[in-house]
């Protein structure tokens, strides 16, 4: 029976992952900042005959509350087999260009708050000498594009942090997986002009995530075709890249 901590449990992708893990009889400790939506996700799992679902309300940018949350998760679960970090926001790039305070807040939402959680969780997993740390970043972190370079830079920072953390924890039997989704049909992307053929459903992405965690994949693009798309994007020479808009 997997014991699973999900931070950002109200995200569409995280909730879809939880439903898949529930079919395996997992136990859950769900964390999110919106108490009402968090209870809806928990109630949905209980309605699907989930054995044990506990919740904790947390805004991950409130660093002083991260450690109490983690201690509550350990008290509830005993140990953590999988920790999925899925919280974040999708800022408006133009607004961040005009407002430095907003830019820093979005870097906190998508970057430093995740790194703080990873640092705390890494110490727990290192002591356990087992488990998987899974982090949802984004294909946006693969290259700085003018349409979303604030968001992308936060995700890139997390991906680089994960790479170093993966090497550190390898000797302890702990795995770190960097999950990089492309366009997904979620409330966060609702209203955006996205290419329909490249927009995946949350459950499709969740299936790839759950399988990737089981396989102990290092970097997981979801859906898989994004690995090819981003290979092409990364391969564009700089003198060409600065002349196109992506």
Q: Could you say which DSSP state residue 110 is in?
A: I
Given a cut of 80, whether residue 188 has pLDDT beyond it is: no
Closest CA to 226 of 185, 194, 180, 175: 180
* Integer angstrom CA distances of residue 163 from 157, 158, 160, 174: 10, 9, 5, 13
The pLDDT, as a whole number, for residue 51 is 79
Closest CA to 85 of 147, 121, 159, 135: 135
Q: Quick check: is 151 catalytic? A: yes
Given a cut of 90, whether residue 185 has pLDDT beyond it is: no
Q: Is the dihedral of CA 228, 109, 203, 121 positive or negative?
A: positive
Q: Which helix (H) or strand (E) holds 234?
A: helix 225-235
pLDDT tens string 22-70: 999 999 999 999 999 999 999 999 999 877 999 999 999 999 999 999 9
The pLDDT, as a whole number, for residue 226 is 96
The pLDDT, as a whole number, for residue 187 is 82
Sheet holding 132-136, edge to edge: 52-57, 27-32, 3-7, 82-85, 132-136, 175-181, 219-222
Give yes or no for a contact between 131 and 83, defined as CB atoms under 8 angstroms apart. yes
Closest CA to 122 of 170, 59, 155: 170
Given a cut of 70, whether residue 114 has pLDDT beyond it is: yes
- Residue 178: beta bridge partners? 135, 219
Structural domain spans, the chain: 3-241
Among residues 63, 151, 221, 225, which one is catalytic? 151
Given a cut of 80, whether residue 238 has pLDDT beyond it is: yes
The pLDDT, as a whole number, for residue 193 is 65
Superfamily assignment of 3-241 in CATH? NAD(P)-binding Rossmann-like Domain (3.40.50.720)
Residue 192's pLDDT band, with cuts at 50, 70 and 90, is: confident
- Residue 133: beta bridge partners? 83, 176
The pLDDT, as a whole number, for residue 214 is 97
State the average pLDDT over residues 169-198. Answer: 87
Find tokens 């994007």 and name the residue: 233
Residue of higher predicted confidence among 188 and 236? 236
**Mean pLDDT, all residues of the chain:** 95
Closest CA to 5 of 154, 120, 164: 120
pLDDT tens string 38-50: 999 999 999 998 7
The pLDDT, as a whole number, for residue 190 is 76
Rounded distance between C-alpha atoms, residue 44 and residue 177, angstroms: 27
Q: Could you say which DSSP state residue 200 is in?
A: B
For 138, counting Cβ atoms within 10 Å of its Cβ (0-12 exposed, 13-18 middle, 19+ buried), the class is buried
Rounded to two decimals, the pTM is 0.95
Tell me which of 98-107, 155-164, 192-201, 219-228 is least confident: 192-201
């Amino acid at each position: 029976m997997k014991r699973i901590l999900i931070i950002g449990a109200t995200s569409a992708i995280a909730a879809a992952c939880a439903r898949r893990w529930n079919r395996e009889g997992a136990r859950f400790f769900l964390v999110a900042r919106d108490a009402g939506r968090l209870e809806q996700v928990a109630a949905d799992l209980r309605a699907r005959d989930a054995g044990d679902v506990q919740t904790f309300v947390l805004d991950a940018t409130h660093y002083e509350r991260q450690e109490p949350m983690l201690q509550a998760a350990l008290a509830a679960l005993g140990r953590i087999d999988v920790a999925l970090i899925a919280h974040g926001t999708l800022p408006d790039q133009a607004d961040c260009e005009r407002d430095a305070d907003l830019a820093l807040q979005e870097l906190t939402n998508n970057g430093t708050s995740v790194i703080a959680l990873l640092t705390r969780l890494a110490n727990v997993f290192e002591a356990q000498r087992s488990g998987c740390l899974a982090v949802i970043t984004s294909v946006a972190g693969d290259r700085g594009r003018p349409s979303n370079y604030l968001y992308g830079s936060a995700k890139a920072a997390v991906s680089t942090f994960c790479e170093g953390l993966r090497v550190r924890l390898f000797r302890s039997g702990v795995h770190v997986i960097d999950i990089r989704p492309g366009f997904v049909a979620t409330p966060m992307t609702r209203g955006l002009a996205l290419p329909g053929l490249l927009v995946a459903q949350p459950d499709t992405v969740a299936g790839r995530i759950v399988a990737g965690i089981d396989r102990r994949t290092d970097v997981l693009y979801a859906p898989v075709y994004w690995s090819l798309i981003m290979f092409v994007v990364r391969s564009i020479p700089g003198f060409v890249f600065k002349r196109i808009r992506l």
